[in-house]
Amino acid sequence: MNSPPESLSLAELQARFASALRASDTPPNDDAAAFGACIVDDGLAPASRLQVYRNNVSAMFTTALERSYPVLRQRVGEGYFAKLAAEYRSDHPSRSGDLHWIGRCFPEWIRACMAGTDYAWLADLARLEWACEEVLVSEFLQPAPADSLARLMPEQLAGARLALQPGLRVVSSSFPVWSVWQANQPGSSGKTVDPSLGPEHVVLAPGPTGLVLHSVPANRYLFVEQLAAGRTLEGAIDGSALPIEQLGATLAWLFGAGLVTQVAAPGNSSTGGEPT
């Protein structure tokens, strides 16, 4: 019968346990073997006791990743997704008590993993799904009134800045990832999307009842991206090459969708909802 070495502190035992949980079975890992010597054999071999915990940790990690990337899982299949999850966990083990955040590095990891293959587009799908996750845990602020810009003097409009929902995210892809996302939502067809549909650009934000996705043209996407970066109204128009004749409709959409939370005139005076 084994007992924990007296020379090990609780912190040292916990560190060794964590290392043993992450250890690979092939080849046999020194950390797992070392911790096995600290386990009391009470009818079940130390290695078997440890394996129970390791199986649970692996299953919880994979399940959490599946919840963040349900569409990607559906497209690649359960078995292959589990393989990806195991390899990703080896490179990016959980470092937080909140499993929600384990998928933060997954899009870039997928990008490196799929680079140069026919499945490189999965990285952009992963970016879209992770943006959804970030929006889902973000705060929804009271939108600014639709007439906020009308309260400014005409000479102030060019230098005005629009504060957007703090949870707003933008995702642009040369692949039709928004269409893939849409086709794989509960109750949708799940059919394969023709990649010849070309680039798609998505603006995501929290709404009064949850996540909202907007598929938008490239120049509208760039306009929102510029505003989110803190550019003035004039700077966002220049930076996005948004045709001036489309400005009115674009601003009406921004305010109508509740994406603007505040309008700040030159000199930092503001009108609208809650400060951001």
Rg (CA), the chain: 25
pLDDT band at 41 (very low <50, low <70, confident <90, very high): low
Neighbouring-strand partners of residue 270: 264
Tens-digit pLDDT profile for residues 136-190: 999 999 999 999 999 999 999 999 999 999 999 999 999 999 999 999 998 887 7
Overall average pLDDT of the 212-239 stretch? 97
- DSSP element (H, E) containing 178: helix 177-183
Residue 259, exposed/middle/buried by CB under 10 A (0-12, 13-18, 19+)?
A: buried
Overall average pLDDT of the 253-272 stretch? 86
Are the CB atoms for 35 and 15 separated by under 8 Å? no
Overall average pLDDT of the 197-208 stretch? 95
Closest residue by Cα to residue 69 from 103, 120, 26: 103
- For residue 131, the model assigns a pLDDT of 98
HSE, CB side, 13 Å, CA atoms: give it for residue 238: 7
φ, ψ for residue 173, nearest 5 deg: -145, 150
pLDDT band at 54 (very low <50, low <70, confident <90, very high): low
pLDDT over 70, % of the chain: 77
Tokens of 106: 């997954």
Pairing of strands 260-264, 200-207: unpaired
pTM of the prediction?
0.81
- For residue 14, the model assigns a pLDDT of 67
Domain boundaries, the chain: 10-102, 139-272
- For residue 27, the model assigns a pLDDT of 43
The CA distances from residue 54 to 48, 49, 80, 209, 217, in Å, are 10, 9, 20, 38, 47
Length of the chain: 276
Pairing of strands 169-173, 210-216: unpaired
Closest residue by Cα to residue 203 from 227, 237, 235, 234: 227
Determine the Cα angle at 150 with ends 149 and 151, to 5°: 90
pLDDT band at 193 (very low <50, low <70, confident <90, very high): confident
pLDDT band at 39 (very low <50, low <70, confident <90, very high): low
- For residue 270, the model assigns a pLDDT of 60
- DSSP element (H, E) containing 134: helix 122-136
Q: Does the pLDDT value for residue 99 go beyond 90? A: no
